[in-house]
Amino acid sequence: MKFEISNCAAESAEGEMHKKSQDTDEVVSLTGVTFGYNGTPVLKDVNLTVKAKDFIALIGPNGAAKSTLMKLMVGLLLPRTGEVRLFGSDVRRFGQWHRIGYVSQNAVRVNTGFPATVEEVVASGFYSGFGKLFDTAGRRKAVQQALEMTGIQNLSRRLVGELSGGQLQKVFLAKALVKKPEALFLDEPTTGIDAASSKEFYTLLKELNMREGITVVVITHDIGAAFDRAAKIGCVRNGKVYIHDNIDEVTQEHVAEVLGYRIPELSAAFSTSQNPKKS
């Protein structure tokens, strides 16, 4: 069956009814967003809302514009057509960047070549945005809290170059958390990490979501680990995005359609934890 995102039942209705409210419950909203790099759009008339405390896993094939979508969500790219709102404000007027934490795709690969300690990398989270600098004591405390939240206090004095991929991802997560954001945007954080560390990482995200109330949007190819923990699934394909509010409606067949290939090891996730009510 050919994948048509417009087949997703509520898509057109949602587009029409899409709110532009100042609702504080909304973390990010895109309304009629079209974006392309060289004239050809890679995202076409996208409408979506991320609400406070959502945990959304975004999936889609390579080149589907998942990273582009996330950069539009965090204000790194501006829409040619349509509107992006962050916490109710147009992205062009938004100034409260500390409310958002973002870890780019390949962050780990490009940042580990210098002899910095874990603490130093986490503290550098204060400098990467547009937020005010904290006083030294406050900053040190915030670094400690971010290390605690991600369970890597014991690594604080280690050099980042000595860490495993799974440990490094936690360091970059801690860096994104240091300004106490309300929402985290992570672009393929577990690519290249072993399965056990990946599972642990998504469990940590789930804890941050449930315990701290942090909104999580994560692009992932790690379907099994993410599906066990996310509350909603966003599909990106053919320039369109559709968010399934109810993860139960996302079948293994649907995932295969979106990605363009089937993931055999998914059967276990779908037959047990994901759809307990249906079995």
Chain residues in the site for Mg ion (CB under 5 A): 67, 105
C-beta closer to Mg ion: residue 67 or 150: 67
Piece of the chain touching ligand ADP by CB under 6 A; list 62-70, 121-129, 202-210, 267-275: 62-70
Q: For ligand ADP, what does the binding mask look like between residues 192 and 211, x meaning CB under 6 A? A: --------------------
- If binding is defined by CB under 6 A, does position 65 make contact with ligand ADP? yes
CB atoms under 10 Å from CB of 259, counted, come to 19
CB of 219 to ligand ADP, least distance (A): 7
HSE-up of residue 68 (Cα within 13 Å, Cβ side)? 22
One-letter amino acid identity for 105?
Answer: Q
CB of 101 to Mg ion, least distance (A): 18
C-beta closer to ligand ADP: residue 106 or 272: 106
Please state, in angstroms and rounded to a whole number, the distance separating the CA atoms of residues 217 and 55.
Answer: 6
- The residue behind tokens 């990490």 is 193
Interacting residue with ligand ADP among 49, 67, 150, 215 (CB under 6 A): 67
3-state secondary structure of 257: helix
Interacting residue with ligand ADP among 2, 39, 62, 133 (CB under 6 A): 62
DSSP 159: B
CB of 65 to ligand ADP, least distance (A): 4
Beta strands (DSSP E) in 72-158 are 81-86, 89-90, 100-103
CB of 49 to ligand ADP, least distance (A): 20
129: its two tokens: 């945005």
Contact 20, 83 (CB under 8 A): yes
CB of 48 to Mg ion, least distance (A): 17
62: its two tokens: 């390579």
- If binding is defined by CB under 6 A, does position 103 make contact with ligand ADP? no
82: its two tokens: 């349509």
CB of 81 to ligand ADP, least distance (A): 16
- If binding is defined by CB under 6 A, does position 66 make contact with ligand ADP? yes
What is the C-alpha radius of gyration for the chain, rounded to an integer number of angstroms?
19
- Smallest CA-to-CA distance from 226 within 200, 249, 258, 248 is with 200
Interacting residues toward ligand ADP by CB under 6 A? 37, 42, 60, 62-68
